Amino acid sequence: MKFEKSQKLYEKGLVNLVGAVNSPVRAFSSVGGNPLFIKKAKGSKIVDVDDNEYVDLVVSYGPMILGHRHKAVEKAAKKALKKGYSFGASTEAEIKLAKIVCDAFPEMDKVRFVNSGTEAVLSGIRLARAFTGKDKIIKFSGCYHGHQDALLVAAGSGLATLSLPGSKGVPEGAVKNTLIAEYNNLESVKAHFETHDDIAGVIIEPIGGNMGVVIPQNNFLKELKEFLETKGALLIADEVMTGFRSMFGGAQEVLGVTADITCLGKVIGGGFPVGAYGARNEIMEQVSPLGGMYQAGTLSGNPIAMAGGIATLTELKRQNPYQKFEEVGQILETILLAAAKKHNVDLVVNRFGSMMNPFFTKSKVTNFEEAQTSDTKKFAVFFWEMIKNGVFLPPSQFEAWFLNSALSDKDIKKISIAVDKSMLAVSKMK
């Protein structure tokens, strides 16, 4: 397999782009080698500039849940394109997408569209503060909520439990209202409430997806919500990854928990830049122009992006692929574990519906600390062997793999063969 053109573009890209990428994980830093440059994609397949074709388990980190270039989505976007790109005024499409979104989340009366998951979360946090009149926010170590200052703490970095900025350029003042708790540990949340009386709410990925996949254990989310109610604090569900993916109504639907504020992104735009935050009326009425919380966006509710979102969610609802995701996910899980056993490699697979990933470790992974026990060198070898065998994975041990509804039996077969070869390569490491 040749990567010559990718290599050339990478070198060219280094001149005027930072690391030749526009988002750091794309740089392949944690697996080594040069990043792949993509030429095109269709259905379950993605093709790089050297014409290597891969079964795509990245799907743009989640958004392409129907596979690439689904007919209905492409048609809707093209149709919208012909009417104009952006107006700085309201369109009917925004109302349509808002209805689809509010119908999916039972306690969501109103929604506000933004352009990314980061924006959705930073606005959701501001809203929690506006509504409660309190400043402090609890986040869980290992959860990622986009790159806003206040939440770049223990966001999958090494600074596990300290309220110290996880990035240069974030002033300590920006994180002084951020408290860190441990995932799957309600006591660590309660402890903060004992020492602080100004906590607006708790933000959580209802299924952890940015420290690898980490699943809430034993009603953790339900108990968290019940506890927060006794304290008058809000539960902010960051469903940017899980919304419309775990189930149409997100992880909340699967887990039977209702958040006060829900943040969305990724699948909601079907590959176009859309984010959203929503809540019940009394909370959303804080948002300008109804209330005093300011939040705005020149391109928010962009008509092409709205068309892409409406078509994606409409098709998703029609396909209702969640049972199939569960079955395919189960098959892939079995394939991974069987190959690991055959080649004598320590492996744990965490999976929630169509989100999964293997950890190269012996110990169970229920929080960030345990995720850190995995052998990232093994993952790097596994990753490149998968690439060479035609499967595109996220280039990091701590990113989830995503299924899409265009995956065929043939694709699964290809993944299965690749997994076996890749696990063999891992077993031969010194």
Ligand X SMILES: *Cc1c(COP(=O)(O)O)cnc(C)c1O
Which parts of 175-260 are beta strand (E)?
178-181, 199-204, 234-238
Total residues contacting ligand X by CB under 6 A comes to: 14
Does the protein bind ligand X through residue 116 (CB under 6 A)? yes
Contact mark string toward ligand X, 142..161, x via CB under 6 A: --xxx---------------
Does the protein bind ligand X through residue 205 (CB under 6 A)? yes
Residue of closest CB approach to ligand X: 117
CA atoms within 13 A on the CB side of 364: 5
Which parts of 87-216 are beta strand (E)?
110-114, 136-140, 178-181, 199-204
Which parts of 217-365 are beta strand (E)?
234-238, 261-264, 275-279, 348-352, 355-359
Active site residue 54: no
Does the protein bind ligand X through residue 209 (CB under 6 A)? yes
Q: Show contacts with ligand X in window 248-277 (CB under 6 A).
A: 265
Q: How far is the CB of 84 from ligand X (least distance, A)?
A: 24
Q: How far is the CB of 146 from ligand X (least distance, A)?
A: 4
> What is the amino acid identity at position 170?
V
Compute the distance between CA of residue 399 and CA of residue 54 in angstroms, rounded to an integer. Answer: 18
The shares of helix, strand and coil residues in the chain, as percent rounded to the nearest 5, are: 40, 15, 40
Compute the distance between CA of residue 19 and CA of residue 342 in angstroms, rounded to an integer. Answer: 38
Q: Which one of 54, 61, 144, 322 is the catalytic residue?
A: 144
Does the protein bind ligand X through residue 241 (CB under 6 A)? yes
Q: Which one of 61, 139, 225, 238 is the catalytic residue?
A: 238
Compute the distance between CA of residue 294 and CA of residue 177 in angstroms, rounded to an integer. Answer: 20
Active site residue 238: yes
Q: How far is the CB of 144 from ligand X (least distance, A)?
A: 6
Closer by beta carbon to ligand X, 241 or else 307: 241
Residues 6+ apart with CB under 8 A from 281: 109, 110
Does the protein bind ligand X through residue 121 (CB under 6 A)? yes
Q: Which one of 260, 266, 277, 378 is the catalytic residue?
A: 266
Active site residue 183: no
Does the protein bind ligand X through residue 210 (CB under 6 A)? yes
Residues that bind ligand X (CB under 6 A): 116-118, 121, 144-146, 205, 209-210, 238, 240-241, 265
Write out the catalytic residue numbers: 144, 238, 266
